[in-house]
Chains A and B, each alone.
Chain A
Amino acid sequence: MTTLTTGPAQTMASKLIGALMHQRLLAFASLIVLLIVFSLASPNFMQTSNMIAILQATSVNGVLAIAATLVIITGGIDLSVGTMMTFCAVMAGVVLTKAGLPLPLGVVAAIGAGAFCGLCSGTFVAKLKIPPFIATLGMMLILKGLSLVISGTRPIYFNDTPGFDLISRGSLIGEVLPFLPIPNGVLILFIVAGIASYILSRTVLGRYCFALGSNEEAVRLSGVNTDRWKIAIYALSGAIVGIGGLLIASRLNSAQPALGLGYELEAIAAVVIGGTSLSGGRGTIIGTLIGALIMAVLTNGLRVLSVAQEWQTVVTGAIIILAVYADMMRRRKSN
């Protein structure tokens, strides 16, 4: 009897898995599975407040991961997003707290600082032909050092800038729909995702982003000024990191100069879980968003189940390897 029942069930399951893989919904399906498993395991998990906490936890990593996605699609890598985020936050602190300038200038400072850092990384990669791994590793250390130097190794608080904390913690949606107090940080994440997605799919910049990752030499031999486009992509990525810097500073209501290291790896993990290929040429923003959500859900869910912090890290690592393996299998099948 057992053979009779498991037989069709198995084929059904394998068909379903096949269909999911085929439709590139693997990451999304994993996210749903995780949500179901955790809500079955703990009644506290599916609370609105907990869901919002998960989204809030996703916002900074999500924005950084979107920035990293752009660079990774070109076939590059950016190890500096973490410390660049901190650098941008510190720059906002310098403008707002130390110079006492109005809020919009602080926003411009953070985003501008990010774009400039990206411009530098892009120039190192494109013009000086330094491999992205090395160029951004150098940038990572430079920015970490500069953040400490500029802030005098002490946090810069934004207590004198009213409204700064609202950038991340306020809720425009909550004012309109009181039952849905989604914080602005999350709103910003989704807006950034929408814009990045539009740029990738609808603009020349996006098209060259994929083309560079797919076959840079062919693009160059098509007479395209590949250096210029590459620098532009790194700069755009940097500007998005600047937004990430604002989000974290707003959430902590301070720029913490020692923070940042390790964020780049979390961002890259989200990108990879989301199905973007580290060898370039393939990737989506929605995938990255889901990747970031998976990481946040995992951390949150394991905490709700009171799994020790140490083990949460182990599980995250295993998930990354599993995600990439599944992606490779899917790609091998489709070939």
Chain B
Amino acid sequence: MTKLVDMTGIEKRFPGVHALKNVQFDLHSGEVHALMGENGAGKSTLMKILSGVYTRDGGTVAIDGFDNPPDSPRAAQDMGIGIIHQELSLMNDLTAAQNVFIGREPRRSFGRLDESALNAQTAEIFASMNLDMDPRAHAGDQTIARQQLIEIAKALSYKPRVLIMDEPTAALNDVEIAELFEVIRRLKADGVGIIYISHKMDEIKRIADRVTVMRDGAWIDTLDAAQTPLAKIIELMVGREVKEEPPIIPDTSGAEIALEVRGLRRGREIHDVSFSVKKGEILGFAGLMGAGRTEVARIIFGADRRDGGDILVHGQACNIRSPYDAVGAGIGYLSEDRKHFGLALDMSVRANIAMAAMGKFTSKTGVLNEAAMKQTADGFIEQLGIRTPSDTQDVGLLSGGNQQKVVIAKWLLRDCDILIFDEPTRGIDVGAKSEIYRLLEDLAAQGRAIIVISSELPEVMRLSHRIAVMCEGRLTGILPGGADTAQEQIMELATRREAAPVGE
């Protein structure tokens, strides 16, 4: 039988990064082939080459036996390659049906839209997924989980022969996951080949036929899913035997409470969130996508307005209404999205480091002291090991890990003693990750209060002295850190939905 997809010797380079090194991957009709690897292993890059988003620098991409790599997402679609992205890309103001058929709307004569055909066809796809949703409902009004299902419906509407699913269950609860797997089984029976990317190990056992492991941009192994123990897969992913190193939890019982939050509320996003962090403590925030962790951070930092609740800094009530107020109170926030919210990419390393503390380098007349700024920037480049040719390099040209260090330098310079890290290692490779971890631990040891929000459970467990878990905008529990807490306990809290949800 001809392979549906056969990728061999794939090479891809980005400025400063060798992202894919001689990678191979194949897919048969009617199989689920799981693609595993840590963040930054190159899975998404490989899939972007298969789906026509990136062009490869070397290697062959054979579809149905012919070397014919798609040169655009459109070409990939025409070849029957569908992809469900990790990040949602729905247009919130359009209806579910309009989203599903965007760009291919059924038409009547003279280019008039055929809304009823649009809705009927979408309803058909929803029915095949066993999904109870009105095609005319606005995408933006749906929960994250249901938005994810709209994305899946959109991919199915192309009747793909190859379907790439990049963490499709990240935001789904158990029932929804079971339904998704039912859809996958039906697609398999129809001969569709499915490439499945997920960090949830148990899913691999449940759904995958074969597993390919990647690490640091290279192909490691392709194995039979049923016959390979999970521990073996994890070992291949990490490249060493997995040793759970629980954090050494310092005794902070006598420490002063640095930040306390009481009854935080905001619209439908956040309901009655209360917690506190002590000086020298690392409080981890776990939860699924859309659980409201980032929202809580943004409210505390004054980036979004709160509808209710109190924020106490060092025991004093603080009326934080803007990031300016928050920074004044000594709170720093490192966004999950460095490129949009953390850095001015066209500006130099020096300018970015100084951004939050410009006052330190300004004379009374407003003139900047570039020499002092350079000295400070060079100091941080040295101290944090930021790899950059010079302090005048544009931040946009640095790697993810080094960009993150620039953001950290910015807040260290501002001397904030409460730091909120939102996904501190997103998009950062394995080596740089442990450096960032050490840095966070050092900061806590210096008496700073640290909040770490992370979607990667191992990261939360590796760093946190205590673990706060959120689900659907509520704080569902706070667990002790270290060896006392198992991954399952966190997952249980992260999926503990409200007892009697209204509607839905």
Q: Name A's B-contacting residues (CB within 8 A).
A: 202-205, 207-208, 210-211, 214-215, 217-225, 281-282
Contact = CB atoms under 8 A, between A and B. Distances in A.
Interface stretch (B25-33, B133-141, B202-210, B341-349): B341-349
Interface residues of B, number: 32
Interface in B318-335: 322-324, 326-328, 332-333, 335
Interface string B149-183: 00000000000000000000000000000000000
B367 A202 contact: yes
Contacts of A219: 344, 355
A223 B367 CA distance: 20
Nearest to B328: A223
A214 B346 contact: yes
B106 to A, nearest CB: 35
Given A204-B362, A207-B351, A211-B351, A225 B324 contact: yes
Interface in B340-375: 340-347, 351, 355-356, 358-359, 362, 365-368, 370
B341 A224 contact: no
Nearest to B416: A223
Nearest to A205: B366
B301 interface: yes
B389 to A, nearest CB: 16
Nearest to A216: B344
A218 B346 contact: no
Nearest to B343: A218
Contacts of A214: 344-347
A222 B366 contact: no
Nearest to A281: B346
Contacts of A222: 323, 327, 355-356, 410, 414
A223 B343 contact: no
Max chain A CB contacts within 10 Å: which of B332, B343, B368?
A: B368
A203 B373 CA distance: 13
B303 interface: yes
A30 B343 CA distance: 35
Contact of A221 (B342, B347, B358): B342
A223 B344 contact: no
A208 B355 CA distance: 9
Contacts of B355: 211, 218-219, 222, 224
A52 B359 CA distance: 43
Given A214-B344, A215-B345, A218-B342, A223 B358 contact: no
Contacts of B342: 218, 221
Contacts of B365: 203
Given A214-B346, A218-B342, A222-B410, 10 more contacts: A202-B368, A203-B368, A214-B345, A215-B341, A221-B342, A222-B356, A223-B328, A223-B332, A223-B414, A224-B356
A68 to B, nearest CB: 20
A223 B323 contact: yes
A203 B367 contact: yes
A223 to B, nearest CB: 3
A224 B340 CA distance: 16
20 contacts: A202-B370, A203-B362, A204-B368, A207-B351, A207-B358, A210-B347, A211-B355, A214-B344, A215-B341, A215-B343, A218-B344, A221-B301, A221-B341, A221-B342, A222-B355, A222-B410, A222-B414, A223-B323, A224-B358, A281-B344
Contact of B323 (A204, A210, A220, A281): A220
Given A217-B341, A222-B327, A222-B410, A211 B335 contact: no
A203 B366 contact: yes
Contacts of A281: 344, 346-347
Contacts of A210: 344, 346-347, 351
Max chain B CB contacts within 10 Å: which of A207, A208, A215, A218?
A: A218
Contact of B333 (A202, A211, A221, A225): A221
A199 B326 CA distance: 29
B351 A282 contact: no
Contacts of A220: 303, 322-323
B368 to A, nearest CB: 6
Nearest to B301: A221
A331 to B, nearest CB: 11
Contacts of A205: 366
A312 B342 CA distance: 46
Contacts of B347: 210-211, 214, 281
Contacts of B351: 207, 210-211
B112 to A, nearest CB: 32
Interface string B396-413: 000000000000001000
A217 B333 CA distance: 13
A328 to B, nearest CB: 15
Contacts of B410: 222
Given A205-B366, A211-B355, A214-B346, A223 B340 contact: no
Contacts of A215: 340-341, 343-345
Interface in B465-495: none
A205 to B, nearest CB: 6
A207 B355 CA distance: 9
Nearest to A203: B366
A214 B343 CA distance: 9
A225 B414 CA distance: 15
Contact of A224 (B324, B335, B346, B362): B324
B374 to A, nearest CB: 14
Interface in B288-312: 301, 303
